[in-house]
Amino acid sequence: MLAMGGVCCLSGFAGVLTELLLKEAALPSSLWVRNLQMSLFSLPIATAAVPISDGAKLHEHGPWVGCNAWLAATVALGACGGVLTSVVLKYADTLLKSFAVGCSIALACLLSRVIFESPFANTSLCGIALVATSSTVYYFWGAFEASATSRQRAEALPSWVSVLTARHAMIPLPNAQTQPERTPLCTTLEHAAGNEAEVPRQGSNELEVPRQGTRLEKRDPSRESI
């Protein structure tokens, strides 16, 4: 039981870590490059385990015994399964991958019973029942809880966030046609320096007259009338 629990924990951790590497890697890369990078860690371990598990057979028959078309088909099937698993992890998540693996094992057991007339063990029947029950529960209650949680999060947002989110597509983007025409600052200063203009100051009766080449002078209208 402890070994089975450890295998389940390690499998879940490996699935989550693989999903993290495929989706949120610091250096983005293609799916094929990421699979090649991850296989570089597993190849040395698998190569080191071969002499331990099949050392006697390798010494007796050699490393190329049993190499035929069935072996090539098995290797190709395993490679396609690995690529398909990476695609599921990249564009879906680990939960869906786990349910897909469980359903495939249950379907393989049923097909082996129908085609090869293999007998069912009690553990196989319990496993198929658990896979079917968990898939049904996740499909109905899991999807409902996810939609309810999303609805609660949307209702908890402030009103102005909801309005901006709902009307984001209706806000026109600024472009050259909608922008008002602006006069360059240098042209405005040259015009003010070449032509005298009376600019009233707020809260005062004095007027400022800009002159070319001189400082601003103050003019009192009451004195000029006298």
Point out the domain boundary residue: 107, 131, 158.
158
In a domain, 145, yes or no: yes
Q: Is residue 176 part of a domain?
A: no
User: Do residues 136 and 115 both lie within one domain?
Assistant: yes
* Same domain, residue pair 143 and 114: yes
Please indicate, yes or no, whether residues 38 and 98 belong to a single structural domain of this protein.
no
Shared domain for 20 and 87, answered yes or no, is yes
Neighbouring C-beta atoms of residue 86, cutoff 10 Å = 20
Instruction: With a cut of 60, say whether residue 9 has pLDDT above it.
Output: yes
* pLDDT at residue 82 in the model: 85
pLDDT tens across 35-56, in order? 888 888 888 888 888 888 888 8
Provide, rounded to the nearest whole percent, the portion of the chain with pLDDT above 70: 62
**Both 81 and 25 in a single domain?**
yes
The residue behind tokens 């004195």 is 223
Q: How many domains does the chain have?
A: 2
φ, ψ (nearest 5 deg) of residue 213: 80, 5
DSSP state at residue 172: P
Same domain, 17 and 88: yes
Distance of CA 34 to the CA centre of its chain: 15
Is 82 in the same domain as 128?
Answer: no
76 falls in which pLDDT band (50, 70, 90)?
very high
Last residue of a domain, one of 143, 158, 173: 158
Reply yes or no on whether the pLDDT at 157 is more than 50: no
Q: In sequence order, what are the residues at sequence separation of 6 or more whose Cβ sits closer than 8 angstroms to the Cβ of residue 59?
A: none
CA dihedral of residues 139, 141, 142, 148 (deg, nearest 10): 130
Instruction: Based on the fold, state whether residues 36 and 98 are members of the same structural domain.
Output: no
Separation of alpha carbons 105 and 103, rounded Å: 5
- Is 126 part of any domain? yes
Asked if residue 109 and residue 129 are part of one domain, the reply reads: yes
Question: What is the residue range of 105's domain?
Answer: 94-158
Q: Quick: pLDDT tens for 176-208.
A: 444 445 545 455 444 555 544 444 445 544 444
Contact 34, 86 (CB under 8 A): yes
Whether residues 83 and 130 fall in one domain: no
Residue 225 half-sphere exposure toward CB, CA atoms < 13 A: 3
Residue 34 lies in a domain: yes
- Examine the domain organization and report whether 117 and 99 are in the same domain: yes
Looking at the domain assignment, is residue 38 inside a domain? yes
Mean pLDDT, the chain, rounded, equals 70
Q: What is the pTM of this model?
A: 0.51
132 and 145 within one domain: yes
Tell me which H or E stretch contains 209. strand 207-209
Residue 5 lies in a domain: no
Is 87 part of any domain? yes
